[in-house]
Amino acid sequence: RTMKPTDNNSYRHILKYTGIFGGVQGLNILMGVVRNKIVAVLLGTDGMGLISLFNSTVRLVSDATNLGLSMSAVRELSAAYEQGDKLILQQKIRIIRTWSLLTALAGMLVCMVLAPLFNRFTFTWGDHTLHFVALSPTIAFLSLAAGETSILKATRQLRRLALLSVYGVLGALLTSVPLFYIWRQAAIVPAIVIAAVIQLLLVITFSLRLYPLDIRFNRRTLREGYGMVSLGVAFVMAGILGSAADFIIRSYLSHAGELHTVGLYNAGFMVTMTYAGMVFHGMETDYFPRLSGVKHTGTTLNILVNRQIEVSILLISPLLVAMTVALPLLVPLLFSQEFGPVIGMMRGSILAMYLRALSLPIEYIALSRGNSRAYLVQEGFAAVLLVVSVVTGFHFGGLTATGYSITIATLLELIFVLFLTYYKYGYRLSRRAFRLMLLQTSLGLATLLAVLGLDGLAYWLVGASLVGVSGTLSWRLCRPT
């Protein structure tokens, strides 16, 4: 079946921008691979675990204090941009920048004040309070960068965002590696702060050229931004739940296992959820603004969501099959031989990515409708499932069981989201999307069984054949005319 483009929500458009941002994310991942390899060699699993703990804390504070502006701003600005009214657009940009500055200062202060508490709950050894204090400017930099990035997303500056993403990762690579080489673990905090500074400088270089800086601290600006902030409160709560889940999981593993275990889990989560998820990168950048531009629920919204699901499944499936087969080569290449024990977890959690390709476009529906309560419910449910699955899996079967329990949690999340969106918005999964999902997931499951049951030459022959079958199916089914 061929795909015929009709508009900006056509298969061709989705393929184009999913391909662009997937490709950019692939390039970023390649640079990240180099960085992670060097970090793994220089710092080992303990160093990787330390980076993971600091980053999860930064994300928690950032999500708790940014008032959800990064997402609610995209929705508000997208509507103004579609109207074509420059005055309204500039006014909303001024509001966003003013509130972003306020949240940046608040986030930095919160991190400083709560530093002793973070130290107590995160580490079982040493005093890392000053490390968290030193990380506090990172919260401000991330908040300011998120506000400017939302402006670029809403005004469809997609190519600029792609370039910005590449430059940011390259900058982090070129600055952090020399620091780690010279100072080892002592350079972790400075490297995190410098990466945030680079990200902020890059994004404001782009955004200020298009929309000059205009910040006004007055009652009108604060009052007009209150509606945006009110909408963002649920997004904040959802972000807190997600970051808190991440924080709880890593703290639990640090106590139940050791820092070495946290490093292994972080590596497994990074490869399966981050590297394999590069196809999803275009959703927030391209798909979410388009979805926000659909005024009403119904046929148009259903078509847009189902097309995004179909393209996501067909693009990511061959990558997942290839990754499942190549893990014995990838893990030493990406990290080191020390990370070998995490391969079992990766194999189990890769299956979750098939389900994620289906659930993620659906989850954006509540966000695009501005329905903060529904969004909070679905994200809260997902966060609780993730924590329960990881704790249960690790308790009964270590990291390997954790991978499979993450897949079970993702399946339950998908079922829940399907029922919720059907009830709230009348969304229905198309037959074509379901068939594609069933077909490619079956190939993924067959690949998993093959790699668990075979070895030697048979392993690679069967694995390569399955990669070829999945790739051929995706090519034939999603090739646009």
Write out pLDDT tens, residues 130-143.
Answer: 999 999 999 999 99
Residue 292, class by beta-carbon neighbours within 10 Å (0-12 exposed, 13-18 middle, 19+ buried)? Answer: buried
pLDDT at 96 over 60: yes
**Confidence at residue 325, expressed as pLDDT on a 0 to 100 scale:** 93
Task: Determine the distance from the C-alpha atom of residue 86 to the mean position of all C-alpha atoms in its chain, rounded to a whole number.
Answer: 31
pLDDT at 5 over 60: no
Give the bridge partners for 480, in sequence order.
Answer: 3
Is the distance from CB of 243 to CB of 381 less than 8 angstroms?
no
Q: d(Cα 402, Cα 268) in Å, to the nearest integer? A: 10
**Confidence at residue 113, expressed as pLDDT on a 0 to 100 scale:** 95
Mean pLDDT in residue range 286-313: 81
**Confidence at residue 478, expressed as pLDDT on a 0 to 100 scale:** 65
Give the lowest-confidence range in 27-31, 324-328, 402-406.
Answer: 27-31
pLDDT at 354 over 80: yes
Q: Is 480 helix (H, G, I), strand (E, B) or coil?
A: strand
More confident residue, 301 or 385: 385
Q: How confident is the model at residue 185 (pLDDT cuts 50, 70, 90)?
A: confident
Share of the chain above pLDDT 90, in %: 33
Q: Is 167 helix (H, G, I), strand (E, B) or coil?
A: helix
Is the distance from CB of 174 to CB of 198 less than 8 angstroms?
no
Sign of CA dihedral 309, 313, 315, 319: positive
Q: Is 220 helix (H, G, I), strand (E, B) or coil?
A: helix
**Confidence at residue 480, expressed as pLDDT on a 0 to 100 scale:** 47
**Confidence at residue 268, expressed as pLDDT on a 0 to 100 scale:** 85
Q: d(Cα 200, Cα 227) in Å, to the nearest integer? A: 26
Q: CA dihedral defined by 290, 291, 293, 298, rounded to 10 degrees? A: 140
